[in-house]
Structure 1
């Protein structure tokens, strides 16, 4: 059966890492769509890459390719050129800032590459950067893995699951190539960006610090992306530390890397636990915590992170920072509870610790909303609709 006669698309998933591939496959399976997965990791030459890709495309005859964070495309641009010659569309769904990745890739001036972005603000970034077409596609929950158990016995009052960002910050600083004598300048930029209402870092730097702006503009694409990442991660770390300090009065459990000990001090008023496995540990942890606390990364000041979907999908209650894109995904106050500033955290935690029935009702409503609108099957449906609109593929 050819593409012209098929009612529904065939999707070939490609990636050099298994990142989120299981979730995309689950979405395809839930919709009954024909799909295949081509793993491109460990390939040692461009000839091997081309042979592997051509063989699978010839065998499966997909209507389009789908990858995450550009992990299915090589930096030299061979996959892009293959798709151009075959007139085969490829969709790259970014769940991190695309401008931290794309400048390192070649051959992107290709009408058969299109982008989905988890942060609505990134659509404009791609348009300004001349990368072509893009549409907004939020994160989702894998309802086959996040089993809903709303009445699990609580084992802890308050918890936060997340990285301290220390290792990422140090790594990005080293890769930026900036001398250590300038680290104080960039630490200052990170602190001010964390407090700023501006969402776009280049715009913020250009308006806030002319010296930093000149230094950033003088960098090549790789070091510039590393420098931007340093600022995002350091700003995120400072914000998370401030939030954790507001939680200390409740004796929270913090699950993550050991750098948390240095960041918020000895465990006199909080408890540390090791990093949790995403699939086997997190759902149980979320549903057995009275209040799952969330802070959003500074790389996505308007968007929703994974916890916003996973916590209620598992039957847990979420307290998160307000982000503008929340209003389109959930009904604030009924399906999700938000703090608008660190100063609001204490009162909200006290209120919801004292009101288990309210926590349960909000979690139930959030889970129902996720089942209606926010599964990976819903996201695959949106992808198919957009690919039909842009390329005429089956939907």
Structure 2
């Protein structure tokens, strides 16, 4: 097979990376990998720069460097070497996008959320793009086709949900606000949970609230000097939206498990959900395809920090031939026919009725 180009992918352990590499290989693209960060999560940008420069100086002519999500220091190195840097954003928030490095001409940044695109496109016109995420149907089909009937039955469910409750990763829970500000935040979360398809949290935050919030948020993220200091975005996306997601998932799963048989695959503490069937972690590449394929209803509850786009879970479920019931997102009808290709809910009552 003739190789069309060589690319260098800097990996940190995202579950998306193996599928992306497989897709590149199917297109006759040769991929070399930098894997140091997979095995050393404490690697510093300075150490990463040394590793990356060594690979770029190895003599191989690379057409581009690729990463899942955006690394400002990689953009800086690629700018020096005159090589394109492609980054596919699969998470939200990604605070590194506020770095001034996003403006470098070597960048090609692909954002799956239109709200993110609208926020950053003007920082580097013609170099920032909006595209949906995708799934590796070939890998999923291999897993499903090679599974025996007993293995498939093991993962059969009436309703299944795979994912965190966010209770263990919700930074909001570490913040101790004065009563007035706590009341405002809780009311804002409750209001947001009643609205699907539009995230209004950030626009409701005053400078005063943000200042008080950050003063009571221990060890919060600090923007580097060479970046846009988007403090409202930080509070809205990394704190309040995550708390909203935590509450939405707990409330939805509590309601459903009290009325239906629900299997939850998670590492989160489920003591607040006494009727749920906690099945523990699901292996992303070898078990999730079977769960999606064998569940009567696959539930998706998009993290509220994803403001308009479609999470990877939506494509993974559909790519496995699974039935999907998801919360409504603004971009959902742009890609799928609701009621035919997918089902969606816009309230807890509608979620209950469609189960």
For the residues of structure 2 that align with 1:36 and 1:312, how far apart are their CA atoms? 30
Query: Number of residue pairs matched?
Result: 327
Hey, which of these two has a bigger chunk of helix by percent?
Answer: 1
Match 2:8 to one of 12, 21, 31: 12
Within the alignment, does 1:62 sit opposite 2:62 as a pair? Answer: yes
Matching residue of 2:299: 293
Match 1:36 to one of 32, 38, 49: 32
Q: Is the 8 A contact 1:117 1:134 kept in 2?
A: yes
CA shift, 1:145, in A, is: 2.4
Within the alignment, does 1:82 sit opposite 2:77 as a pair? Answer: yes
For residues 173 and 92 of structure 1, do their structure 2 counterparts lie closer, same or farther at Cα, with a shift above 3 Å needed?
farther
For the residues of structure 2 that align with 1:312 and 1:45, how far apart are their CA atoms? 38
For the residues of structure 2 that align with 1:196 and 1:333, how far apart are their CA atoms? 20
For the residues of structure 2 that align with 1:46 and 1:163, how far apart are their CA atoms? 29
For the residues of structure 1 that align with 2:172 and 2:36, how far apart are their CA atoms? 26
Matching residue of 1:347: 353
Matching residue of 2:242: 233
Matching residue of 1:115: 109
Deviating beyond 6 angstroms after TM superposition, the runs of 4 or more aligned structure 1 residues are 217-220
Query: Aligned with 1:60: secondary structure?
Result: coil
Within the alignment, does 1:94 sit opposite 2:89 as a pair? Answer: yes
Q: Any residues of structure 2 matched to 1:94-243 within 5 Å, and which? A: 94-98=89-93, 100-103=95-98, 105=99, 107-127=101-121, 130=123, 133-147=127-141, 149=144, 155-169=156-170, 171=171, 173-174=173-174, 179=177, 183-196=182-195, 198-199=198-199, 201-206=201-206, 211-215=208-212, 222=222, 224=231, 225=234, 228-243=237-252
Q: Is the 8 A contact 2:166 2:268 kept in 1?
A: no
Query: Aligned with 1:275: secondary structure?
Result: coil
Query: Aligned with 1:83: secondary structure?
Result: helix
TM-score (norm 1): 0.72
Q: Is the 8 A contact 1:172 1:226 kept in 2?
A: no
CA shift, 1:326, in A, is: 1.7
For residues 203 and 127 of structure 1, do their structure 2 counterparts lie closer, same or farther at Cα, with a shift above 3 Å needed?
farther
Query: Aligned with 1:222: secondary structure?
Result: coil
Query: Aligned with 1:135: secondary structure?
Result: strand
CA-to-partner distance for each residue in 1:299-321, whole Å, 9 max, x for gaps? 11322112211122223211112
TM-score (norm 2): 0.79
CA-to-partner distance for each residue in 1:94-118, whole Å, 9 max, x for gaps? 1122553334x56444221231111
Query: Gapped runs of 5+ residues in structure 2?
Result: 224-230
Q: Any residues of structure 2 matched to 1:258-273 within 5 Å, and which? A: 258-262=268-272, 264=273, 266-267=274-275, 270-273=276-279
For residues 51 and 257 of structure 1, do their structure 2 counterparts lie closer, same or farther at Cα, with a shift above 3 Å needed?
closer
Q: Is the 8 A contact 1:99 1:125 kept in 2?
A: no
CA shift, 1:253, in A, is: 1.5
Q: Is the 8 A contact 1:13 1:67 kept in 2?
A: yes
